[in-house]
Amino acid sequence: MKALKPLLVCLISIFLITKPLQISRACSFEPEDYIAYYSLFDPSLSNMEDFNALHVSFDRYYSYDWFNNVEAKQKDNLKEWQQYAGAQASAADIALVVYTLSREDMNQAQNWLQKKGKGKLPESLSASNTFLQALNKSRNTDAADYLLYAKRCEPQVTVDPESWDPPAWDLTEMARLVTEGKNKYAQTQDPFLKMRYAFQVVRLAHYSGQLETCVKLFDELVLPLKNTGLLYWWSLGHKAGALQDLNRHLEAAYLFSQVFENCPSKRIQAWQSLSVESDEEWDSVLTYCKTPAEKATLYFMRGINIDSRALDEMKAIYALDPASDKIAFLMSREINKLESDFFGWDFDFAFPLKQSYKERSTAESLAYLNELYAFADLCVKENKIRKGPFFRMAQGYLAFMRSDFDKADALFAAVATQSSDARDKTYAGFYRWVIRLSRLTKLTPADELRLYQEMKKLPFAEDEPHQLRLKSSQYLFKTYARLYKVAGAKGKAYLCTQTYYDLLMYPDKAVVYDILKWLDGLQTRKPNELELELISRIDASQARNLMLEMKATLLMREGRWKEAIAIYEKLPQEALAMVTTYNIPLDPFQGFPSDCVNCWEVGTGDSPYNRLTFARKMVELDAEALRKPSAEVFMKLGNACYNMTYFGPAWMATAYYRSGGSIWVFDAESNDEWAVKEKNSLFVDMTRAEAYYRKAIALTTKNPELGAEATFMAAKCRQNQFYLDGYSDWEEEDLKRKPLYRKDFDALIAKYKKTRYYERAIGECGFLDTYSYGK
Amino acid sequence: MLRSALSALVLCLLLLSCGKKRDIHPSFYHWKSEFALTKGETDYLKQLSVKRLYVRLFDVAWEGNAATPRASLRADSSAWQTWEVVPVVYITNEVMLRVDADEVPMLAQKISTRMQRLLGGRQVPEIQIDCDWSEQSRASYFRLLEEIRKAWPGPTLSATIRLHQVKYAGSTGVPPVDRGMLMFYNMGDLRDPETQNSIFDPETAKPYLGGIKTYPLPLDVALPAFSWVVIVRQGRPIDLISPAPVQELRDTSRFQAFTDQRFRVDSGTFLNGVYLYGGDELRIEQVDYSLLQEAASLVAPLIRNPDIHLVYYHLTPQTAEQYPYESLEAITRMFD
């Protein structure tokens, strides 16, 4: 076993040849390993279904099993077995015997076949299995013999070196299986089984590190069969892998290109195995090619790299074989990549297009767009290509991306009238609708409804792979949002892309008021389809009441208690439930030394206050403060104003959602759109609470306990203000400012150290405990 | 008399302790996918008196829905008999963010078992875990380290520490290990077109130096001894070629130099197995001897432990050409 260790390691390296070599990601560049973008150009227009996994498309990129592709391999293999066994054998029955049946059960099945269908079958296999019946009918025991052999080979060739489990190779067994396979190859007269034995021994030789033998076995056993079925290409892949490890990587590259072209189930592995180091090597690989089409395949493999700019490859293929479908495929990839560049994540773009990724160059991408357009134009004009409508469509789409809407529309109109293909007509019509939408610079009521109705009638199914139904809706609403915003209709603009639930998380006063204004306008007439869809994004039946409730809650933030109460009291019961169902957990008029925002667990239970009763109590206290000002009443007002902010346990009086992480948006560096949106939505106003506490302090000269409490609470307000002013604990410059915000803590320590409240605060507030140490 | 003698003894001890030099152990990271040192590499290591190699054994990445070993080292463990080996495992932060808390002990067991298996049962003085953990992944990563220690209690357990983890130790925490390996490189923004050298830039490093001296772990130091070419396409970095093929870039028939470090590709061409397109920009980033000296001069005075493993990242056949052994010896002496 010790002697085998180097070989085991060697095996791992060999295995990797047909699996692409994995490079450690640590301390190296990590390319963006996702491609996420909005796309309206459907790559399937290039009509190369077998190559779908190579489209620049988020879903397809991820739905493909890059390393194993087991399903595709099994599907192709089962197809060959079905052709061999005859149509009466179902794919499911073949799969059961070929892939599921254990070696022991296969042995039993073979005995059964040898006894002409007599004897006992294993429990996992029924005599009604159509594949078994077909073999029995033709008295074919050789096939069962082969399958038994294959099941013995399988454990030796399917070990994954990247598994947590220890590998279980057995080189002696592998060598024995090679010899046995060669003998069986010689013995059988069945060409189908001969090819399968040849494949098994070529694979075993490859994985056991017998590289020269692998190449030789391919030439001696596979080539003479003159069969270019599935197993030929699988075997060729092993020969290519062996050649690559023998440093004959140029021959290997050529063979991989052959596998790539002819064997969909090994296409990705072949592409990833292609390795060319230099221009000289590239030229050498091309000399192996026997036809222009073979050369075109090599250019195609080079052009489908994720970050390629495949215009070079398209031109090379065009020069070699202008009728090659691969040009259309590469063109669709390049268009999709440009969409990714310009449309980006959020589909929020405007014409003329600008780069959606700030680190990329708009000028360079536009120059490339123009080059692609010119090439598409050339293809259309010279008319040597095979897929005329596709190239006109591509040219039209590129014209659209260049903001040349007239030219684009003319090209799509030509496709719609000239092509006899219904699918071409559908897409041409769709792209003309996209252009109409893109042309809009402002929205008239007639346009906005008409384009919306046209969108609803687009003939794309819900499950269409490129999801054009969904994307056309998103594009329409993104466009409308931009135009509504320009027109000052903030509410409708908001509802184009967001819903009531977004508004609950990030309340925006301007949006709420504008939505209400719009809804008020609809009180006198029946809303149209578009308006109904926008309303449904709040709530189909009580949108206005929900908005009124939210308006009242936002009024609470401004201390406009009476206006809030007036709105609440007019709400119908269902909407009022939003206000009255959930009580504030702690008494909001009490002060708490330690901020406790989700205090249900503290055990005090529900207080008698909800938003409405809280507002009523505030009105009472305001009146009392005017009538008979006292430290006690100012403390209650201060506590209420503190507790109803983001920092206090009564935050739900003025908000619908709270996240502990939100406070970091006040960090001076957090200036992106989402941070600003979140910052604006938080209710964090410390000034009102602080002002009440200061009034209380002024009236507590004879009550040190209350004085301590008021000073402590004022200190908390200032401490919070430090972060709200954009300072952080990380920057040295910021920390220098901190003492300015802690003067009240200093005053508390200096003046009230002997009070009971101070003792309580020290016990509950860890910060004060630490801060006061030694003072 | 006795008092004078004692005073003299104390003074003597003090002087001895003040004058005692640190133990500096030069070393290298081996970060390739195959362990097969050339004779040149072996000779170079011997010239530098390198006894220990930090060898990356495998990565752990999140694939499918599980932590999976990737990019395992291909090697016959007999090949490294000459060296004291510190096995290193790189774990992506994604793994630590996504792994269930309940599964952490099992993951630790799998990692240590796989390490021991790949080492062929060989004893090692230290094991190192490399992970760019964050505040969010801190809890599960630290638990993993504790579990690895339980699963393999003998060797010293170390973890790599990046500069931001030193500066923000308050939020990212200090890993529960015996030693830290301070990675004094990869500090710039590779994606920023204005970046001159993302591998090491003294100005970028300076704001991070503050916490090194007080970091509560003995620190070894990893210094950069590598180069790469950043390939920029349409303004966006898309790939790296490492080490930087500096000589090839002097080929004016293919590349236009617009500074010593920056080039433009004239038309489509292969460079070290990567196909470049006309218009691509190439940026050489390397840490030459003087920059390496600057790095050492910044970090050396901040390390307080009496012994340091000074590890250069990373060993390639080109390392000896780019950093003659005398130059790395000089760098090593700067830590005395």
Residue-by-residue DSSP string for B228-265: EEEEEETTEEEEEESS--HHHHT-TTTEEESSSSEEEE
Residue A352: is the preceding peptide bond cis (ω within 30°)? yes
Q: List CB contacts (< 8 A) between B269 and chain A.
A: 279
Given A5, A28, A276, which is nearest B273 (Cβ)?
Answer: A276
Q: List CB contacts (< 8 A) between A360 and chain B.
A: 234-236
| Residues contacting A684, CB < 8 A, separation 6+ | A645, A646, A647, A666, A720, A724
Q: What's the pLDDT at A3? A: 37
Q: Min CA distance, A491 vs chain B (Å)?
A: 36
Q: What's the pLDDT at A635? A: 97
Query: Count of alpha carbons within 13 Å of A421, Cβ hemisphere only?
Result: 13
Handedness of CA B64, B69, B71, B76 (dihedral sign): negative
Q: What's the pLDDT at A188? A: 96
Closest residue, chain A, to B34 (C-alpha)? A13
A71 pLDDT higher than 80: no
Q: How many percent of chain A have pLDDT more than 70?
A: 90
- Name which of A183-197, A442-456, A579-593 the model is least confident about: A579-593
Both tokens of A386, joined, read 């095979």
Could you tell me if A308 and B274 are in contact, meaning their C-beta atoms sit under 8 angstroms apart? no
Closest residue, chain B, to A5 (C-alpha)? B76
Nearest to A98 by CA among A88, A111, A85: A85
Handedness of CA A582, A585, A591, A592 (dihedral sign): negative
Q: Min CA distance, A752 vs chain B (Å)?
A: 32
Report the residue of A17, A29, A315, A338 to disrupt the B interface, i.e. the one with the largest count of B CBs within 10 Å.
Answer: A29
- Name which of A133-147, A239-253, A567-581 the model is least confident about: A567-581
**pLDDT tens-digit series, residues B228-259:** 999 999 888 889 999 999 999 999 999 999 99
Res. B158 pLDDT band, cuts 50 70 90: very high
Residue range A14-28: mean pLDDT, rounded: 38
Closest residue, chain B, to A309 (C-alpha)? B277
Whats the size of chain A, residue-wise?
A: 775
DSSP category for residue B278: T
Q: Min CA distance, B240 vs chain A (Å)?
A: 6
Whats the size of chain B, residue-wise?
A: 336
Torsion of CA A233, A236, A240, A245, to 10 degrees: 120
Res. B149 pLDDT band, cuts 50 70 90: very high
Q: List CB contacts (< 8 A) between A364 and chain B.
A: 234-235, 279
B270 contacts A22? CB cut-off 8 A:
no
Q: What's the pLDDT at B171? A: 80
- Name which of A10-19, A257-266, A390-399 the model is least confident about: A10-19
Given B110, B235, B278, which is nearest A359 (Cβ)?
Answer: B235
Q: Give the count of beta carbons closer than 10 Å to the beta carbon of residue B93.
A: 15
User: How would DSSP label each residue in A562-588?
Assistant: HHHHHHHHHS-HHHHHHHHSSPPSS-T
Q: Give the count of beta carbons closer than 10 Å to the beta carbon of residue A65.
A: 14
Closest residue, chain B, to A26 (C-alpha)? B90
A12 contacts B74? CB cut-off 8 A:
yes
Closest residue, chain A, to B164 (C-alpha)? A730
Given B71, B77, B277, which is nearest A22 (Cβ)?
Answer: B71
Given B120, B130, B234, which is nearest A368 (Cβ)?
Answer: B234
Q: Min CA distance, A411 vs chain B (Å)?
A: 28
The structure tokens 């949002």 sit at: A481
Closest residue, chain B, to A19 (C-alpha)? B71
A13 contacts B74? CB cut-off 8 A:
yes
Both tokens of B19, joined, read 């004058």
The structure tokens 């470049």 sit at: B276
Could you tell me if B247 and B230 are in contact, meaning their C-beta atoms sit under 8 angstroms apart? no
Q: How many Cβ pairs within 8 Å bridge chains A and B?
A: 112
Report the residue of A4, A9, A306, A342 to disrupt the B interface, i.e. the one with the largest count of B CBs within 10 Å.
Answer: A9
Per the prediction, chain A carries an average pLDDT of: 88
Question: What is the interface pTM, i.e. ipTM, of the complex?
Answer: 0.84
DSSP category for residue A100: I
Residue A238: is the preceding peptide bond cis (ω within 30°)? no
The structure tokens 């076949």 sit at: A113
Given B75, B270, B277, which is nearest A282 (Cβ)?
Answer: B270
Q: How many percent of chain B have pLDDT more than 90?
A: 74
A302 contacts B190? CB cut-off 8 A:
no
**pLDDT tens-digit series, residues A177-228:** 999 999 999 999 999 999 999 999 999 999 999 999 999 999 999 999 998 8
Q: What's the pLDDT at A670? A: 61
The structure tokens 């296409």 sit at: A267
Closest residue, chain A, to B271 (C-alpha)? A278
Distance CA A635, CA A592 (A): 12
Residue range A675-701: mean pLDDT, rounded: 91
A24 contacts B33? CB cut-off 8 A:
yes
Nearest to A47 by CA among A242, A290, A280, A332: A332
Distance CA A137, CA A121 (A): 16
B2 pLDDT higher than 50: no
Could you tell me if B181 and B310 are in contact, meaning their C-beta atoms sit under 8 angstroms apart? no
A164 contacts B69? CB cut-off 8 A:
yes
Could you tell me if B117 and A166 are in contact, meaning their C-beta atoms sit under 8 angstroms apart? yes
Nearest to A622 by CA among A647, A642, A641: A641
Backbone angles phi, psi at B227, to 5 degrees: -145, 160
Residue B243: is the preceding peptide bond cis (ω within 30°)? yes
B13 pLDDT higher than 50: no
Q: What's the pLDDT at A599? A: 59
DSSP category for residue A304: T
Distance CA A556, CA A687 (A): 15
Given B190, B239, B268, which is nearest A307 (Cβ)?
Answer: B239
Q: What's the pLDDT at B10? A: 41
Helix, strand, coil shares of chain A, percent, nearest 5, are 70, 0, 30
Pure H helices in A581-686: 611-627, 631-643, 673-681
Q: pTM for this structure? A: 0.81
DSSP category for residue A353: P
Distance CA A232, CA B306 (A): 64
Q: List CB contacts (< 8 A) between A6 and chain B.
A: 76, 78
A422 pLDDT higher than 50: yes
Higher pLDDT: B272 or B71? It is B272
Strand partners, B63: B66
**pLDDT tens-digit series, residues B296-310:** 999 999 999 999 999
Q: String of b and e for A404-429 (b: at least 16 CB within 10 Å)?
A: bbebbbebbebbbeebeeeebbebbb
Higher pLDDT: A65 or A563? It is A563
Could you tell me if A391 and A380 are in contact, meaning their C-beta atoms sit under 8 angstroms apart? yes
Both tokens of A355, joined, read 């780069």
Q: What's the pLDDT at A187? A: 96
B3 pLDDT higher than 70: no
DSSP category for residue A385: S
A6 contacts B78? CB cut-off 8 A:
yes
**pLDDT tens-digit series, residues A314-367:** 999 999 999 999 999 999 999 998 998 888 767 778 888 887 766 677 888 999
Report the residue of B172, B236, B266, B287 to disrupt the A interface, i.e. the one with the largest count of A CBs within 10 Å.
Answer: B236
Distance CA B58, CA B33 (A): 9
B31 contacts A24? CB cut-off 8 A:
yes
B275 contacts A305? CB cut-off 8 A:
yes
Cα distance between the two ends of chain A: 72
Higher pLDDT: A702 or B254? It is B254
Q: List CB contacts (< 8 A) between B31 and chain A.
A: 24, 26-27
B193 contacts A730? CB cut-off 8 A:
no
A163 contacts B69? CB cut-off 8 A:
yes
Q: List CB contacts (< 8 A) between B268 and chain A.
A: 312
Distance CA A719, CA A768 (A): 11
- One-letter identity of residue A67: F
B191 contacts A359? CB cut-off 8 A:
yes
User: How would DSSP label each residue in A174-230?
Assistant: HHHHHHHHHHHHHH---HHHHHHHHHHHHHHHHHTT-HHHHHHHIIIIIGGG---SH
Pure H helices in A457-528: 468-486, 490-497, 500-505, 509-521
Handedness of CA B112, B114, B118, B122 (dihedral sign): positive
- Mapped onto helix, strand or coil, the DSSP state of residue B198 is coil
Res. A463 pLDDT band, cuts 50 70 90: confident
- Mapped onto helix, strand or coil, the DSSP state of residue B19 is helix
In chain B, the domains with their CATH numbers are: 22-226+287-333 (3.20.20.80), 227-286 (no CATH)
Separation in Å, CA B108 to CA A164, B61, B137: 12, 14, 15
Could you tell me if B72 and B55 are in contact, meaning their C-beta atoms sit under 8 angstroms apart? no
Given B76, B78, B236, which is nearest A357 (Cβ)?
Answer: B236
Strands B66-70 and B52-63: antiparallel
Backbone angles phi, psi at A333, to 5 degrees: -65, -45
A275 contacts B273? CB cut-off 8 A:
yes
Closest residue, chain A, to B75 (C-alpha)? A9
Distance CA B220, CA B179 (A): 7
Given A275, A360, A729, which is nearest B236 (Cβ)?
Answer: A360
Distance CA B115, CA B60 (A): 12
Both tokens of B230, joined, read 């950043």
Higher pLDDT: A597 or A208? It is A208
Distance CA A423, CA A429 (A): 10
DSSP category for residue B74: B
Q: Min CA distance, A62 vs chain B (Å)?
A: 10
Strand partners, B307: B23
Torsion of CA A275, A277, A282, A287, to 10 degrees: -70
**pLDDT tens-digit series, residues A607-636:** 789 999 999 999 999 999 999 999 999 999
Nearest to B104 by CA among B125, B124, B127, B133: B133
